[in-house]
């Protein structure tokens, strides 16, 4: 249970209509295995430096935004009171560098374009969730339910107002989070297992005339649990991840016609577990992307998770 990632959210839910979310995925050991707790630290990174429109790369000149570099450091705790019920909470800290273009007008009426680079960090949106896994004796099926709270900053800006709401660290919204998962051996006694998981992020209460898009994420994966070296268990995993986010809305949305997306990613990863410590790492590689308007995308998303079980 490195990070209890399926419970935490399929998308980290950070702001960015341009697809700043990183889908938390991992092996079956991330899912509940019985009573007990886990403290975890999760680090995610992405560099959005390609302009994308529709299903293909687009000229950089079509987008005033040039690059968004984001790192997410998340600390959290998950605790199962018994085999059926548990809770989980996580607090993220986000660092972001945003490179864009500021326009001004010269004395002769011509346009002056200046490059602007902005860097800032702050607490992101906190997530609190309940967990229920009492559908079967082996805890193979479960559901999650909770909220993303509007704790992240959504009003950071420079003197010229170059940071749009969809590029802020927080969304300013309170969101309902609903998820489900199922895992199963491919056959009885087999070291191969498969796992599927999904989650809905639905904004309910919004602020200052900005409503972030609804997001649905799902993953399907297969992993091998037959490797060990001494007391160390090694589990490789391969997953397919799908995400869809609707366009933002409201008068303070930077550009509803340039927000929202669908994408499919392939995610090879590996977990190393030596009780009570576990480490998980993966890379998430887009193989299909469709973005509304012109948006910045990343060629890869990276994840590292460390958990301590108690």
Whether residue 161 has pLDDT greater than 80: no
Question: CB under 8 Å to 1, separation ≥6 — which residues?
Answer: 29, 30, 31, 32, 33, 38, 78, 278, 307, 309
Contact 291, 19 (CB under 8 A): yes
201, 176, 78, 132 alpha-carbon torsion, rounded to 10° = -100
- pLDDT value at residue 109: 74
**Statement: residue 11 has pLDDT above 70:** no
Question: Quick one: pLDDT at residue 151?
Answer: 96
Q: Is the pTM of this model over 0.85?
A: yes
Mean pLDDT, rounded, for 211-225: 92
Q: Could you read off the pLDDT of 271-294 as tens digits, one per residue?
A: 999 989 999 999 999 999 999 999
- Per-residue CA distances from 144 to 10, 43, 159 (Å): 12, 22, 42
What burial letters (b/e) apply to 199-215, b meaning 16+ CB within 10 Å? bbbebeebbeebbbbbb
Cβ–Cβ under 8 Å, residues 292 and 247: yes
253/267: higher pLDDT: 267
Q: How confident is the model at residue 14 (pLDDT cuts 50, 70, 90)?
A: very low
What is the homologous superfamily of the domain 5-309 according to CATH? Autotransporter beta-domain (2.40.128.130)
At residue 27, does pLDDT exceed 70? no
Question: Closest Cα to residue 247, out of 239, 255, 235, 256?
Answer: 256
Domain assignments of the chain as residue spans, ordered by start:
5-309
């Amino acid at each position: 249970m490195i990070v209890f990632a399926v419970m935490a959210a399929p998308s980290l839910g950070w702001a960015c209509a341009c697809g700043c979310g990183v889908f938390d995925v991992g092996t079956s050991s991330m899912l509940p295995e019985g009573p007990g707790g886990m403290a975890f630290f999760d680090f995610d990174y992405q560099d959005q430096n390609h302009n994308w429109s529709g299903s293909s790369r687009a000229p950089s000149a079509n987008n005033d935004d040039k690059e968004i570099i984001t790192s997410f450091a998340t600390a959290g705790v998950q605790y199962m009171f018994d085999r059926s019920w548990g809770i989980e909470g996580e607090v993220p800290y986000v660092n972001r560098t945003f490179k864009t273009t500021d326009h001004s007008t010269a004395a002769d009426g011509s346009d002056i374009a200046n490059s602007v680079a902005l860097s800032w960090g702050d607490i992101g949106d906190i997530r609190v969730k309940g967990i229920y896994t009492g559908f079967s004796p082996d805890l193979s099926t479960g559901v999650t339910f909770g909220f993303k709270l509007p704790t992240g900053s959504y009003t950071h800006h420079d003197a010229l107002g170059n940071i749009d709401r969809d590029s802020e660290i927080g969304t300013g919204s309170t969101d309902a989070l609903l998820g489900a998962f199922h895992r199963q051996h491919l056959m009885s006694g087999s070291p191969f297992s498969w796992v599927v998981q999904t989650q809905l992020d639905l904004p309910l209460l919004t602020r200052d005339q900005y409503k972030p898009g609804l997001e649905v994420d799902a993953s399907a994966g297969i992993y091998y649990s037959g490797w060990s070296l001494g007391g160390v268990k090694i589990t490789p995993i391969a997953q397919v991840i799908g995400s869809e986010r609707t366009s933002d809305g409201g008068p303070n949305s930077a550009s509803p016609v340039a927000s929202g997306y669908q994408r499919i990613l392939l995610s090879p990863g590996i977990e190393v577990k030596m009780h009570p410590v576990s480490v998980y790492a993966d890379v998430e590689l887009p193989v299909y992307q469709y973005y509304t308007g012109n948006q910045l995308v990343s060629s890869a998303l990276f994840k590292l998770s460390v958990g301590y079980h108690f």
